[in-house]
C-alpha cells in the first residue's frame, strides 16, 4: 500500500474546510466547527440535555439534513411532547428519526445521499466498546457523528464513553441548563464557550448552587 504524502505547513494553511458558518450565540459558543468528525455531549438527567439537543438541531438545520437515532427514547409520546415544546415543526424536513441498532444504522448511513450529520442518543444504548466506536467512526470519515451520553458525576458514564469523549473534537458538558464547550472549538466573543439553554432555569440553578 502506498504511503500518503506528508503535508507541509503551507499545504495545511492553503487547505479549504467545510465549516458551519455560525453567527450570534452559536458562534460565541463553538466558533465555526468543521462539518465532520465526532462531537460528544454529556450531562446528568434534569439539566437540560434534551432541550439543548433540540436547539442544536435547529442551529444545524440550515446547513445540513440530520438523522437522529433515538435508541433511548425511541419515538414515544415524550419525544412528541419535546418536539412540540420546541416548535420543531419549523425544521420538519431537515431531521429524520429512527430507532436502530448499530448494524442497521451502519447499513443506512452507507446508502447514497444519507444525511451527513448523525445524532446518536445515547452512547450507552449502543453498547459499543471503544474498539467498536473506532470501527464505526472510520467507516464514515466525511460525516459528523454526534454522540449523546449519560454522566457519572461530571464524567461520561463508562470507560468506553470516556474514551470517546477524549477522542471527540467538540466536547460539550451540560449542567444547570448551560452547555459548556470543553473541546477544540470555543467562541472568542460573548459568553466564550457557554450557551444558555434556558435563562430562567439556569438562573434558578445558579441560585441554588450558590446557597
User: What is the pLDDT, as a whole number, of residue 76?
Assistant: 85
Length of the chain: 211
Is residue 86 a part of any domain in this protein?
yes
pLDDT given at position 206: 78
- Among 173, 186, 184, 187, which residue's Cα sits nearest to residue 37? 184
pLDDT in tens, 167-180: 999 999 999 999 99
In a domain, 101, yes or no: yes
Please give the pLDDT value at position 190.
Answer: 75
- pLDDT in the model for residue 91: 92
How confident is the prediction for the chain on average, in pLDDT?
93
Residue 41 lies in a domain: yes
Classify residue 2: in a domain, yes or no. no
pLDDT score of 195 more than 90:
yes
The verdict on residue 18 lying in a domain is no
Residue 1 lies in a domain: no
How high is the pLDDT of residue 208?
Answer: 64
Give the integer Cα–Cα distance in Å for 18 and 11.
16
Position with higher pLDDT, 210 vs 109: 109
User: For residue 71, what is the domain's CATH number?
Assistant: 3.40.50.300
Judge whether 11 lies within some domain.
no
Question: Is a pLDDT exceeding 70 seen at residue 29?
Answer: yes
End-to-end CA distance of the chain: 63
**pLDDT score at 115:** 97
Interval 34-87: pLDDT, tens: 999 999 999 999 999 999 999 999 999 999 999 999 988 877 888 899 899 889
**pLDDT score at 134:** 98
The tally of domains found in the chain comes to: 1
Q: CA torsion sign, 185 to 156 to 115 to 140?
A: positive
Looking at residue 2, what is its pLDDT? 82
Expressed as residue numbers, the domain containing 128 is 25-209
109 assigned to some structural domain? yes
Amino acid at each position: 500500500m502506498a504511503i500518503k504524502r506528508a503535508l507541509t505547513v503551507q499545504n495545511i494553511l492553503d487547505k479549504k474546510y467545510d465549516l458551519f458558518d455560525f453567527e450570534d450565540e452559536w458562534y460565541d459558543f463553538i466558533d465555526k466547527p468543521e462539518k465532520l468528525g465526532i462531537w460528544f455531549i454529556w450531562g446528568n438527567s434534569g439539566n437540560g440535555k434534551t432541550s439543548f439537543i433540540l436547539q442544536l438541531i435547529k442551529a444545524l438545520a440550515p446547513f445540513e439534513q440530520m438523522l437522529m437515532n433515538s435508541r433511548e427514547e425511541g419515538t414515544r409520546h415524550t419525544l412528541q411532547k419535546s418536539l412540540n415544546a420546541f416548535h420543531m415543526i419549523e425544521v420538519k424536513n431537515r431531521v429524520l428519526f429512527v430507532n436502530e441498532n448499530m448494524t442497521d444504522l451502519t447499513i443506512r448511513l452507507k446508502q447514497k445521499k444519507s444525511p451527513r450529520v448523525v445524532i446518536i442518543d445515547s452512547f450507552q444504548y449502543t453498547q459499543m466498546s471503544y474498539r467498536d466506536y473506532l470501527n464505526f467512526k472510520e467507516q464514515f470519515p466525511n460525516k459528523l457523528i454526534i454522540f449523546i451520553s449519560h454522566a457519572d458525576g461530571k464524567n461520561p458514564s463508562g470507560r468506553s464513553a470516556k474514551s470517546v469523549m477524549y477522542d471527540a473534537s467538540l466536547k460539550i458538558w451540560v449542567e444547570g441548563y448551560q452547555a459548556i464547550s470543553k473541546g477544540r472549538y470555543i467562541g472568542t466573543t460573548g459568553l466564550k464557550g457557554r450557551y444558555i439553554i434556558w435563562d430562567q432555569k439556569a438562573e434558578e440553578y445558579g441560585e441554588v448552587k450558590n446557597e
